[in-house]
């Protein structure tokens, strides 16, 4: 069953997601050559706690950190540690927050210094694919319309959509029904209703969509070692499309695109 949230609940979900957004902005500002992924994780915890939230990834299925920081060929679930960022890499940052019983979840990818045109295009295509998925998340559409919208943008750029990880419903639990593939499966899925809250999260690879999970049991890397990007927003389905709950301040997008 997919829960329909009341406006009061949506308000709390927005607050949880605003803590996520504030955290992502802080991390994006820190990205520079030499910064370690553990330093980003530490900074995230400080922001989350200062704003009254709790990092929801920590301990989830025994995940050992508060954020996922996935550099370059790492698709998702990168465990923060001693890896230092290098000029030319792209960095995906995924943050989850529990606030007054409600979950926020969002992610973005940014560049460390100057990146090559493929990485730049990869980030932009993934961001745009997410935006198209959000636009398709409107009452009366089927879930598959969202998946198709995402996949079309990605494949038109010659990139590939990761199959083995998907988006999800979100609310009083971090993962709720439905699962949200970023590709067409052939099943149209549930009909979308206003008040459904969904975390859309396309993971897009420059090369093959195949994934390898490292021995730590978490770190998911591209099978061919080529880079991967990840953007995620928590949204609420409305009559005219998805309303973003985890919106980051506009200035950041301007700055990130320029840098």
The CA R_g of the chain, rounded to the nearest whole Å, is 17
How would you list the strands of the sheet with 220-222, edge to edge? 74-76, 220-222, 211-213
Nearer CB in complex with Co ion: 115/199: 199
Number of residues that bind Co ion (CB under 5 A): 2
CB 108 within 8 A of CB 248: yes
Q: Backbone phi, then psi, for 121, in 5-degree steps?
A: -65, -35
Site string for Co ion, 56-95 (x = CB under 5 A): ----------------------------------------
Please list every residue from 14 through 33 that binds Co ion, using CB under 5 A. Answer: none
Say how far apart CA 76 and CA 69 lie, in whole Å.
7
Does 105 interact with Co ion (rule: CB under 5 A)?
Answer: yes
Nearer CB in complex with Co ion: 31/200: 200
Site string for Co ion, 134-173 (x = CB under 5 A): ----------------------------------------
Say how far apart CA 91 and CA 3 lie, in whole Å.
33
Does 245 interact with Co ion (rule: CB under 5 A)?
Answer: no
Question: Which of the ranges 15-23, 57-65, 79-87, 103-111 carries the binding residues for Co ion, by CB under 5 A?
Answer: 103-111
Does 196 interact with Co ion (rule: CB under 5 A)?
Answer: no
8-state DSSP, 52: T
Say how far apart CA 55 and CA 67 lie, in whole Å.
8
Does 199 interact with Co ion (rule: CB under 5 A)?
Answer: yes
CB 69 within 8 A of CB 95: no
Nearer CB in complex with Co ion: 199/204: 199
Interface residues with Co ion (CB under 5 A) are 105, 199
């Amino acid at each position: 069953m997919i829960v329909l949230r009341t406006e009061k609940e949506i308000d709390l979900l927005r607050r949880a997601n605003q803590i996520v957004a504030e955290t992502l902005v802080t991390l994006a500002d820190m990205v520079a050559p030499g910064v370690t992924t553990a330093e980003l994780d530490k900074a995230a915890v400080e922001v989350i706690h200062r704003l009254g939230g709790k990092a929801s990834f920590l301990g989830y299925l025994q995940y050992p950190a508060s954020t996922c920081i996935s550099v370059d060929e790492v698709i998702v679930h990168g465990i923060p540690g001693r890896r230092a960022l290098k000029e030319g890499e792209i960095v995906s940052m995924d943050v989850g927050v529990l606030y007054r019983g409600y979950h926020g979840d969002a992610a973005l990818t940014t560049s460390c210094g100057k990146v090559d045109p493929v990485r730049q295009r990869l980030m932009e295509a993934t961001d745009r694919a997410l935006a198209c998925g959000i636009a398709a998340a409107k009452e009366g559409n089927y879930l598959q319309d969202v998946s198709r919208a995402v996949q079309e943008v990605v494949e038109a750029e010659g990139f590939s959509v990761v199959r083995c990880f998907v988006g999800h419903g979100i609310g009083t639990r971090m993962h709720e029904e439905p699962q949200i593939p970023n590709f067409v499966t052939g099943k149209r899925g549930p009909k979308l209703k206003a008040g459904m809250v969904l975390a859309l999260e396309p993971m897009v690879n420059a090369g093959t969509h195949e994934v390898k999970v490292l021995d730590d049991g978490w770190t998911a890397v591209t099978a061919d070692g080529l880079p991967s990007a990840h953007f995620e927003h928590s949204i609420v389905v409305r009559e005219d499309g998805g309303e973003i709950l985890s919106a980051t301040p506009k200035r950041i997008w301007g700055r990130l695109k320029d840098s």
